[in-house]
Structure 1
Amino acid sequence: MTLLVIGLSHRSAPIDMLERTTLDQPRSRALRDRLAATQQVREAVVVTTCNRTEVYADVVTFHGGVTEIGQAIAEVTDVDALTLRDHLYVHHEDRAVSHTFSVACGLDSMAIGESQILGQLRSSLRQAQTGQEVGPELNALFQRALRVGKRAHTETEIDDVSLSLVSAGLDEAETVLGPLAGLSVMVVGAGAMSSLAVATVTRAGAREVVIANRTEAKARHLAEAYAARTVPWSHREEALAAADVVITCTGAAGRLVSREAAERTAVLRGRRPQVYLDLALPLDVDPAVAEVDGVTVVGLQRLGELMAADGLVPAQVQQVRDLVVEEVAGYLAARRVQAVAPTLAALRSRARSVVEAELQRFDTRTPDVDEATRRQVELTVHRVVEKILHTPTVRMKEMAGTDVSGSYAEALHRLFDLDPHTVAAVSAATVDPPVDLAEPTPVLEADPAAEGTDTTEPGLNEPGTPELASTGTPEPTSPEPNHPTDLALETTGARHA
């Protein structure tokens, strides 16, 4: 198995490229179908959000998987592969796990620490489970990632950092309009980012906060929480004229505010200064709106530049990074132990079949032996086999995750003539059923990858076998922004991070 993450995000691509590659439901479905038809991809989960399009996959080979996934993304998004390759990043094995956990914690989001990504990951996994496109590798990875993301929000103060994007935009607005206190603010949308915006401007003392959303019930619910008022979606353009600051957070297809609408609004306002803060992707506000006299547009690209220039890493972010490093180390250690479990189970299965055959031979040759003697012979044989298998079993677990574990497993295969089909069958039998993702924030208690579930078959237990305390796994590197190497890959040209 080879774990890959291939995609592009606000860290690797400009806004216009992200808009071109954002997937709606039909295109997301098309990409999943395209991946299912490839030769290299065994499992796949497609994650598409307002600032990322990514494929998480278990593939047969690294280069083959990168090539086929890159081609699939290019075909579905209708972006030339040569153009796309300059913006794609590739994370492989350990770094793929680290990236997944970082995404779940909101560390890779444009609004650092935002929790909406958990719901998006959950939805992506649910779709893959429904389409039977996910198996043991990605199911375990995403279950663990969801749990890590939940830990980040419950055990650290990362939620405070998610306000930084909104705050940076409002700081820009204040440079044009002066303090927010006394100004009128209109928020278009009622999602997580809109809630942050409403909370922030309310605390800043905005004179009036108006919310417009396609689903009016959601707008009313948000407005009631902050003593704001709502306007019908059909009347949103009229409400623009009364707003000094307009914050858009819908990411809907097409532009919600055109240049013509902004021009009409500016005339009604007598050209008084107005700021549009566009936090959506795809963009809600036509970039041409910035050409209207008296209007300033602040978009995600500008905000990204401002936050990058700041260069400060809040303590909360470092807390979550440390948590991710800890979780990645634990996951990789358990994953390596789980990788050798089928070999151990097959070894015990082989031993059991030998014991059963010899006991049948004993019964045939000594039919007159009484039951008590027969049971004593059976117990003795089992004890002998236990003692013989105990040491190689313990050594196998101790060596899991080391450079020689693979050769040791191969040696066991050869020495004990283990049937590859038996090993594969045992491996398949240890797969967990898909997680129930109905709840908005599930507590995923059963996670074999996390707990290092012992898949040893019953019947030949290991009395006194010590628990695997340490695999000697090197501490993984702390997640960082995309740093691709110079390894150019065919067709997609994606770079191995």
Structure 2
Amino acid sequence: MSVLVVGLSHRTAPVALLERVSVSGDALVKLLHDVQQDDHVAEAMVVSSCNRVEIYAEVDRFHAAVTGVSQLLSTHSGVPMEQLASHLYVHYEDRAVEHLFSVGSGLDSMVVGEGQILGQVRSALRLAQEEGTVGSTLNELVQQSLRVGKRSHTETGIDRAGASLVGVGLTLAERALGPIQGKRALVVGAGSMSALTAATLQRTGVTDIVVINRTHDRAVRLAQTVGGRAAEFGDLTAELAEADLVISCTGATDVVITPDMLTPRAMFLLDLALPHDVDPAVRRLPGVTLINLESMQDGAIVAATDDGGLAEAVTAVRGIVADEVSAYLSAERAARVTPTVVALRSKAAQVVEAELGRLVSRVPEIDGRVRDEVTQTVRRVVDKLLHEPTVRVKQLAESPAGDHYAEALRELFNLDPKVPDAVRRVETVDTKPSKREAGL
């Protein structure tokens, strides 16, 4: 089994396409199960955020799995494969591990170093665990990617060099409006991104914060956490007329803010939603500035985040990722050879017991003390003979071609390949639910 990644992101696809492919809620759960039920997939996890949709899978066939997973992404999004294919990227085995560690460290984010991706990966893993679509392979890999991401942020300045989407948006807002302290801010939506936005505004020194949401109770709860005020969703147009800074991130499938709801004046709108919350046509209104994910993708983000320390931080994080990938792959390759070593020692033990049994049948009068001494001597001889090759094969297994050494060991000693497989099953039975056990 090997790890496969199939996905698209802000690096390979326009925002309009990402909007169509992005999944959440019940649709995300359905995609997760459909991927895991593919004949060539054992485990599955889906990361779906505002600038990436990625499917992580443990697979037994590369080409067949790529075809199946890609087709499922096309089917669920409604985007024809011929339109989707040119925007997809595929990572396999070592490259899949490197990609996930880079994603978790913020190297692959639209805003380099942003920390939200760690929460998104963690949420994706939690959902897959709850739905029973991950086992030991993806669980261990993703947990390690979270540790690598945390280490990258702790040991380098990448989280300071590359702020979050919200932080960068507020930087751009100050360029358009001047200092935002003293401005009225309107937060449209009450989800996790809106909560982050409200908290960031408060830390920045904005004291006049209004939160508006279709579910008013959620707006009230969020507003209370930042000392702001909640407004009814029906008053959106009136609140827009009083706001200087608007940050919108709802789960709506259609635009929430249109040109006819705004008056031409100095006003900054930050649209962090996918699909868009704000009609891009508002840019035609005098004085109105709109920044959305697409405009960030086009380069505004670079100018807002490169404070001179970014390049140094990125270099440091890349070094951490390279070291962690190497360590992970070495440990994983060493673990692969363990069942073969167990099979070899098991076969040796069987040979010893058979020969000792034959000795007893041929010389039944042998003294019990002598028999015990012979038994211990034979076992010590076998252990010493096996010690060096088993230690060496574990060491050699950590190299990129390590699997070949285990294969050579099985061939030289005529080991039953089913024995290592049985050992693997025993090792993972408590952590890797079968599709039947997962209720699929």
Please indicate, yes or no, whether the TM-score normalized by the shorter chain is above 0.5. yes
Alpha carbons of structure 1 residues 126 and 371: separation in structure 2 relative to 1, 3 Å: farther
Deviates more, 1:146-155 or 1:308-317: 308-317
Q: Which string of whole-angstrom CA distances, capped at 9 and with x for unpartnered residues, describes residues 341-362 of structure 1?
A: 1111111111111122222223
- Structure 2: how far apart are the matches of 1:206 and 1:365? 93
Alpha carbons of structure 1 residues 410 and 216: separation in structure 2 relative to 1, 3 Å: same
Q: How does 1:132-147 map to 2 (within 5 A)?
A: 132-147=132-147
Q: How does 1:29-428 map to 2 (within 5 A)?
A: 29-161=29-161, 163=163, 165-206=165-206, 208-213=208-213, 219=219, 222-250=222-250, 252-255=251-254, 257-259=256-258, 262-266=259-263, 271-304=264-297, 305-308=299-302, 313-402=310-399, 405-428=402-425
- Structure 2: how far apart are the matches of 1:141 and 1:375? 47
Q: Which string of whole-angstrom CA distances, capped at 9 and with x for unpartnered residues, describes residues 100-137 of structure 1?
A: 11222333233443443333323322333344433332
- Structure 2: how far apart are the matches of 1:309 and 1:225? 32
Instruction: Answer yes or no: is the 8 Å Cα contact 1:211–1:223 preserved in 2.
Output: yes
Aligned-pair distance for 1:199?
4.5
Question: SS at 2:269's partner residue?
Answer: strand
Question: SS at 2:48's partner residue?
Answer: strand
Alpha carbons of structure 1 residues 189 and 323: separation in structure 2 relative to 1, 3 Å: farther
Instruction: Answer yes or no: is the 8 Å Cα contact 1:212–1:219 preserved in 2.
Output: yes
Aligned-pair distance for 1:230?
3.0
Question: SS at 1:64's partner residue?
Answer: helix
Alpha carbons of structure 1 residues 434 and 126: separation in structure 2 relative to 1, 3 Å: farther
- Structure 1: how far apart are the matches of 2:192 and 2:150? 16
Alpha carbons of structure 1 residues 234 and 359: separation in structure 2 relative to 1, 3 Å: farther
Question: SS at 1:145's partner residue?
Answer: helix
Aligned-pair distance for 1:410?
2.2
- Structure 2: how far apart are the matches of 1:236 and 1:369? 97
- Structure 2: how far apart are the matches of 1:123 and 1:432? 24
Question: SS at 1:368's partner residue?
Answer: coil
Instruction: Answer yes or no: is the 8 Å Cα contact 1:114–1:159 preserved in 2.
Output: yes
Alignment-mate amino acid for residue 266 of structure 2: P
Question: SS at 2:418's partner residue?
Answer: helix
Aligned residue pair count: 428
Question: SS at 1:86's partner residue?
Answer: helix
Aligned-pair distance for 1:239?
2.0
Aligned-pair distance for 1:17?
0.3
Instruction: Answer yes or no: is the 8 Å Cα contact 1:116–1:192 preserved in 2.
Output: no
- Structure 1: how far apart are the matches of 2:190 and 2:50? 15
Query: As a proportion of its length, which structure holds more helix?
Result: 2
- Structure 1: how far apart are the matches of 2:215 and 2:326? 43
Alpha carbons of structure 1 residues 93 and 194: separation in structure 2 relative to 1, 3 Å: same
Q: Percent identity?
A: 46
TM-score for the superposition, normalised by structure 2: 0.87
Alignment-mate amino acid for residue 255 of structure 1: D
Aligned-pair distance for 1:294?
4.3
- Structure 2: how far apart are the matches of 1:394 and 1:207? 65
Aligned-pair distance for 1:49?
1.7
Q: Which string of whole-angstrom CA distances, capped at 9 and with x for unpartnered residues, describes residues 139-171 of structure 1?
A: 221121222233334444444345353343234
- Structure 1: how far apart are the matches of 2:159 and 2:175? 26
Alignment-mate amino acid for residue 244 of structure 1: D
The aligned residue for residue 4 of structure 1 is: 4
Alignment-mate amino acid for residue 333 of structure 2: R
Alpha carbons of structure 1 residues 119 and 200: separation in structure 2 relative to 1, 3 Å: closer
Alignment-mate amino acid for residue 386 of structure 1: D
Instruction: Answer yes or no: is the 8 Å Cα contact 2:111–2:301 preserved in 1.
Output: no
Alignment-mate amino acid for residue 358 of structure 2: R
- Structure 1: how far apart are the matches of 2:167 and 2:188? 17
- Structure 2: how far apart are the matches of 1:291 and 1:299? 15
Deviates more, 1:332-341 or 1:213-222: 213-222
What RMSD in Å do the two structures reach over aligned CA positions?
A: 2.7
TM-score for the superposition, normalised by structure 1: 0.78
- Structure 2: how far apart are the matches of 1:185 and 1:364? 92
- Structure 2: how far apart are the matches of 1:197 and 1:98? 31
Q: Which runs of 5+ in 1 are unaligned?
A: 436-497
Q: Which runs of 5+ in 2 are unaligned?
A: 433-440
Deviates more, 1:330-339 or 1:181-190: 181-190
Question: SS at 1:255's partner residue?
Answer: coil
- Structure 2: how far apart are the matches of 1:410 and 1:204? 60
- Structure 2: how far apart are the matches of 1:285 and 1:358? 81
Instruction: Answer yes or no: is the 8 Å Cα contact 1:45–1:55 preserved in 2.
Output: yes
Deviates more, 1:116-125 or 1:215-224: 215-224
Question: SS at 1:254's partner residue?
Answer: coil
Instruction: Answer yes or no: is the 8 Å Cα contact 1:246–1:275 preserved in 2.
Output: yes
Question: SS at 1:23's partner residue?
Answer: coil
- Structure 2: how far apart are the matches of 1:228 and 1:62? 52
Question: SS at 1:301's partner residue?
Answer: helix
- Structure 2: how far apart are the matches of 1:258 and 1:123? 29
Instruction: Answer yes or no: is the 8 Å Cα contact 1:3–1:56 preserved in 2.
Output: yes
